[in-house]
């Protein structure tokens, strides 16, 4: 497909066209010209969108669908349409399927289903067989099949020796190990943050200590073994401090934070709405402030939607019995733009690619067109009728957002809302 993006403002600090409003000519998936005005040829489609801005394609490091095994929550095909319309050219797909994505064959199934789509899928292989935390999965074989990292989604590695062995073994092929930050014995049967709100609501709490003990343990192990460790979706002030200290020591540790931990607190749970039941749990405003500071000083490497579709049968139930998780792909940009501003929002949505072995693509002539398309202006309230995901379990219904995502152009395709 050949097209021209008309009057597009470029947001890419690495590009010579940063902050310029230009026409972008794309032919067979390649940017062939960028100029003040380009006259279209007969076979070129013009894309004219209000206050169009473009950036390098956004990357989400923690996305769950349902296929295989939980197709009623989200299929790969429909999930990738959601991702594209939400502005993401690349996503890392979690292994929490049925069966768990823990073999080279299961990685091949994911990449096969995602073939020839606008949004690129980068599978995360399970770190342990069936994500049971007992035996390491076939990490090298999965990497050869296309896995970009290894971790058991929302399941922490309770055996420290197992994580030690994983960090040592993965160094043989430059593998990235993910470790979910929760000490289960401390978390117990908690369902929300252990603080004043949990006492008022009479719900069992998960203390910040459960996360921080695990983070501290994992950093000690990393210091001993070397290797590369990624800690997904941290949620407490102390976790930020621990990771900042580890980075200052020169350890190869990275981390992410979810958009809901940056924008929501445990005060949301007063309605007992299970859409706010997430893991790690929503924390306090003090934690939110520390996470935002971690974004500002680059202690936190990336922001994720931590998109986790859950069908209504497992969400519209008693709070204690409801499954953890919220969808978030469709609201990431609007929520972040509201609190971080345009350039920082684009930065945190594009920065994490290198950590997962994905090469960034500068907006310049001769490069593939891997672009997110959006309008950063315009305030609105997110409503349920705007959800295009199959599952509707969004914690952001009724929340203020800023800007509008048009879609993406990538892999020679264009997907618009």
> What pLDDT does residue 339 have?
96
Which two structure tokens, joined as six digits, stand for 37?
């005005």
Pairing of strands 53-56, 3-11: parallel
Q: What is the pLDDT of residues 229-283, one digit of tens each?
A: 999 999 999 999 999 999 999 999 999 999 999 999 999 999 999 999 999 999 9
Q: What is the mean pLDDT of the chain?
A: 97
Q: What is the pLDDT of residues 120-154, one digit of tens each?
A: 999 999 999 999 999 999 999 999 999 999 999 99
Q: What is the pLDDT of residues 168-179, one digit of tens each?
A: 999 999 999 999
Pairing of strands 149-150, 120-125: parallel
CB 165 within 8 A of CB 225: no
Report residue 394 CA to chain centroid gap.
Answer: 15
Reply yes or no on whether the pLDDT at 41 is more than 90: no
| Catalytic residue chosen out of the listed positions 23, 306, 320, 379 | 306
Residue matched to tokens 């342990």: 128
Alpha helices in 156-207 (DSSP H): 160-170, 184-187, 196-201
Instruction: Say if residue 200 is exposed, middle or buried (CB neighbours under 10 Å; 0-12, 13-18, 19+).
Output: exposed
For residue 33, indicate whether it is catalytic.
no
Cα 117 from Cα 114, distance rounded (Å): 6
**SS3 for 233?**
coil
Cβ neighbours, 10 Å, residue 37: 9
Rg of the chain, C-alpha, whole Å: 21
> What pLDDT does residue 42 have?
82
Residues in contact with 298: Cβ distance below 8 Å, sequence separation at least 6, in sequence order: none
Q: What is the pLDDT of residues 298-345, one digit of tens each?
A: 999 999 999 999 999 999 999 999 999 999 999 999 999 999 999 999
> What pLDDT does residue 1 have?
81
Q: How confident is the model over 2-26, as a mean pLDDT? A: 97
Alpha helices in 49-195 (DSSP H): 76-85, 104-113, 139-145, 160-170, 184-187
Cα 304 from Cα 284, distance rounded (Å): 19
Give all strands (DSSP E) within 12-87, no chain letters: 21-27, 30-35, 45-47, 53-56, 58-63
Measured over all CA atoms, what is the biggest interatomic distance in the chain, rounded to whole angstroms?
A: 67
Domains of the chain (ranges, CATH numbers):
3-53+365-416 (2.30.40.10), 57-356 (3.20.20.140)
Single out the residue of 63, 158, 101, 137 nearest to residue 352, CA to CA. 63
Single out the residue of 120, 11, 1, 74 nearest to residue 375, CA to CA. 11
Query: Would you say the C-alpha torsion 167, 182, 80, 310 has a positive or negative sign?
Result: positive
Q: What is the pTM of this model?
A: 0.95
Q: How confident is the model over 210-231, as a mean pLDDT? A: 98
Cα 8 from Cα 213, distance rounded (Å): 47
Cα 111 from Cα 279, distance rounded (Å): 27
Q: What is the pLDDT of residues 90-126, one digit of tens each?
A: 999 999 999 999 999 999 999 999 999 999 999 999 9
Residues in contact with 351: Cβ distance below 8 Å, sequence separation at least 6, in sequence order: 301, 302
Task: Give the pLDDT band of residue 48 (cuts 50, 70, 90).
Answer: very high
Query: Would you say the C-alpha torsion 80, 85, 89, 90 has a positive or negative sign?
Result: negative
């Amino acid at each position: 497909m050949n097209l021209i993006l008309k009057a597009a403002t470029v947001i890419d600090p690495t590009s010579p066209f940063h902050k310029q409003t230009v026409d972008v000519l794309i032919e067979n998936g390649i940017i062939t010209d960028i100029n003040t005005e380009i006259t279209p040829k007969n076979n070129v489609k013009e894309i004219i969108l209000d206050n169009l801005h473009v950036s390098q394609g956004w990357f989400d490091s923690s996305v769950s669908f349902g296929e295989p095994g939980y197709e009623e929550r989200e299929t790969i095909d429909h999930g990738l349409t959601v991702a594209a319309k939400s502005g993401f050219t690349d996503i890392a797909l979690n292994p929490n399927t049925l069966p768990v994505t823990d073999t080279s064959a299961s990685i091949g199934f994911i990449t096969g289903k995602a073939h020839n789509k606008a949004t690129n899928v980068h599978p995360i292989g399970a770190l342990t067989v069936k994500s049971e935390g007992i035996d390491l999965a076939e990490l090298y074989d999965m990497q050869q099949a296309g896995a970009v990292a290894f971790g058991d989604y929302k399941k922490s590695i309770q055996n420290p020796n197992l994580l030690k062995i994983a960090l040592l073994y993965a160094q043989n092929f430059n593998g990235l190990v993910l470790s979910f930050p929760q000490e289960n014995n401390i978390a117990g049967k908690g369902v929300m943050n252990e603080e004043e709100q949990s006492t008022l609501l009479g719900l069992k709490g998960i203390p910040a200590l459960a996360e921080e003990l695990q983070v501290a343990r994992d950093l000690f192990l990393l210091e001993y073994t070397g290797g590369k460790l990624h800690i997904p979706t941290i949620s407490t002030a102390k976790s930020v401090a621990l990771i900042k200290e580890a980075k200052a020591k020169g350890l190869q540790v990275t981390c992410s934070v979810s958009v809901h931990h940056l924008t929501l607190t445990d005060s949301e749970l007063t309605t007992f709405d299970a859409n706010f039941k997430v893991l790690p749990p929503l924390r306090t405003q003090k934690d939110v402030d520390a996470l935002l500071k971690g974004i500002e000083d680059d202690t936190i490497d990336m922001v994720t939607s931590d998109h986790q579709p859950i069908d209504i049968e497992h969400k519209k139930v008693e709070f204690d019995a409801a499954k953890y998780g919220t969808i978030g792909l469709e609201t990431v940009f609007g929520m972040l733009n509201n609190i971080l501003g345009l350039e920082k929002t684009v930065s945190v949505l594009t920065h994490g690619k290198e950590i997962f072995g994905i090469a960034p693509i500068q907006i310049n002539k001769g490069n593939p067109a891997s672009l997110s398309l959006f309008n950063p202006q315009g305030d609105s309230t997110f409503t349920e009728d705007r959800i295009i995901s199959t599952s509707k379990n969004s914690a952001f219904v009724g929340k203020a957002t800023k800007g509008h995502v048009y879609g993406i152009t990538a892999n020679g395709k264009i997907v618009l809302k």
